[in-house]
């Protein structure tokens, strides 16, 4: 009986630890009029180490934005989307001074550039207002991409798609304009 109790306790502790390890933070510039935004585009650069993961993230974010009435326009857009997803390895890039514990810091591209590290398993999504180059919405997820590869490429891709859709959906539930 004691062994069974210990096993149950360890299993519950492990489940609670795993659930706690994943963290989602969204920060919004409340002074910005999100309802005035009609078009979006993408920043240059690689989104994730694997092209397939990057494409899944693009598709999920575009689905969320179009459900809010926005239209993709690569030539002229009201907002620009910048994403760094460290699925399987740490990533480094140069950007505004975002490199703090929770990837929070307002000021957008007017802040001095700094080298930032996105830890393996984390994702950072920035929505940048293109007129003044200010970050107006930021979603940061910690411990999102942690499942090890199974050896079955098709299964891994389906699992990654589920993970991406789940977490991008959670981020955009906190977007100021609701889906229609």
Could you give all domains of the chain from N- to C-terminal order, each with its CATH number? 22-172 (3.30.160)
The string of pLDDT tens digits covering residues 1-46 is 555 544 454 444 444 444 446 788 899 999 999 999 999 999 988 8
110: pLDDT strictly greater than 60 = no
Q: Tell me what percent of the residues of the chain surpass a pLDDT of 90.
A: 41
Q: pTM above the 0.85 mark?
A: no
Separation CA 177–CA 35 (nearest Å): 7
Q: What is the mean pLDDT of the chain?
A: 79
Are the beta carbons of 77 and 65 closer than 8 angstroms? Answer: no
Q: Residue 90 in contact with residue 42, Cβ under 8 Å?
A: no
Q: Mean pLDDT throughout 139-143?
A: 88
Whether 174 and 139 have beta carbons less than 8 Å apart is answered as yes
Give me the torsion for CA of 122, 108, 68, 19, rounded to 10°. Answer: 20
């Amino acid at each position: 009986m004691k062994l069974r109790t210990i096993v149950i306790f360890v299993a519950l502790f492990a489940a609670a630890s795993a659930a706690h390890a994943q963290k989602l933070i969204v920060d919004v510039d409340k002074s910005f009029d999100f309802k005035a935004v009609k078009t979006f585009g993408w920043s240059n650069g690689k989104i994730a180490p694997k092209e397939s993961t990057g494409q899944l993230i693009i598709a999920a974010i575009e689905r969320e934005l179009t459900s809010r009435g926005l239209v993709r326009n690569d030539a002229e857009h009201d907002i620009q989307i910048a994403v760094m997803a460290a699925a399987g390895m740490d990533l480094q890039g140069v950007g505004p001074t975002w490199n703090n514990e929770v990837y929070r810091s307002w000021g957008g591209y007017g802040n001095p550039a700094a080298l930032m590290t996105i830890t393996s398993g984390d994702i950072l999504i920035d929505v940048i207002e293109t007129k003044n180059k200010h970050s107006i919405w930021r979603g940061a997820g910690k411990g999102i991409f942690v499942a090890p590869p199974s050896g079955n490429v098709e299964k891994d891709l389906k699992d990654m798609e589920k993970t991406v859709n789940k977490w991008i959906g959670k981020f955009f539930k906190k977007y100021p304009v609701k889906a229609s």
